[in-house]
Amino acid sequence: MTSMVNQALDNFMMRFSSFAQAHSEVTTIEFDADWPSKCYQLTDSAQPVSPTSWKPILRTEMSDFAELSSALELELHPDVAVFYSRYWSDNIFAEHPSGRLQILQAWNGDDFDRLQQNIVGHILMKRRLRQPETIFIALTDEDDFILTVDNQTGAVMLEQVGLKPKAQISPNLARFLTEIVPTTDGF
């Protein structure tokens, strides 16, 4: 399944890049020298200006979730590991048949570390509440609702923060990525 997530994520990022050519506002961001990223589209000869453009960058190696897995005594679902470590990217607005969402990604190494800390906090909360362990992948336009991956089954779920998943959105992450389309609509 992991190779299917690679392909589905690559295809989504290609669709996003094509979409961004017609809607440059989705890849325009304030330049922040204190928050560096390979995603910034800067020329060597020019001083960075704000706003500037960015694009998702395929990473040269997959991030290691070993520390997270060891700390939680939990094997992170491999689809989620691919999802969060294949690209450096800003978050991306998209639409799924079930509603509008914002795909979460890591902008740089520090952001990836913060993401892992948030995943640990989320899983510890799920354990304390004696609920199935899930890993968040997207925000929704509904207050306190997120999209998660069930760590056991790999299904993409709609979940209200602090509660058990409400509904299955897609049977797996690869299929979910084929079902979403980039959008300019923020929320």
| Residue 68 placed within a domain | yes
Helices (H), the chain: 2-22, 66-72, 78-85, 109-128, 173-179
pLDDT digits (tens, 9 = 90+) for 133-163: 999 999 999 989 999 999 999 999 999 999 9
Confidence of residue 43 (pLDDT cuts 50, 70, 90): low
Percent of the chain topping pLDDT 70: 96
Q: How far out from the chain centre does Cα 114 lie?
A: 13
- Domain of 84: which CATH number? 3.40.1580.20
Does the pLDDT value for residue 21 go beyond 80? Answer: yes
| Residue 42 placed within a domain | no
Confidence of residue 46 (pLDDT cuts 50, 70, 90): low
Q: Which pLDDT does position 158 carry in this prediction? A: 98
Amino acid at 90: D
CA distance 54 to 70: 34
Closest C-alpha to 95, from 18, 2, 15: 15
Strand partners, 94: 101, 182
Strand partners, 102: 93, 139
Q: Which pLDDT does position 66 carry in this prediction? A: 85
| Residue 187 placed within a domain | no
| Residue 72 placed within a domain | yes
Contacts of 2 (CB under 8 A, 6+ apart): 78, 79, 81, 82
Evaluate whether 18 touches 91 at the Cβ level (below 8 Å): no
Write down the mean pLDDT value for the chain. Answer: 93
The pTM of the full predicted model, rounded to 2 decimals, is: 0.93
| Residue 39 placed within a domain | no
Q: Which pLDDT does position 45 carry in this prediction? A: 57
Task: Tell me which long-range contacts 24-33 makes (C-beta under 8 A, separation of at least 24).
Answer: 24/53, 25/184, 26/92, 26/93, 26/182, 26/184, 27/53, 27/54, 27/55, 28/52, 28/53, 28/54, 29/53, 29/54, 29/90
């470590």: which residue's tokens?
85
Q: Say how many domains are in the chain.
A: 1
Strand partners, 187: none
Residue 100's domain comprises 2-23+58-182
Q: Which pLDDT does position 58 carry in this prediction? A: 96
Contacts of 103 (CB under 8 A, 6+ apart): 91, 92, 93, 94, 137, 138, 180
| Residue 34 placed within a domain | no
Q: How far out from the chain centre does Cα 38 lie?
A: 17
More confident residue, 70 or 1: 70
| Residue 117 placed within a domain | yes
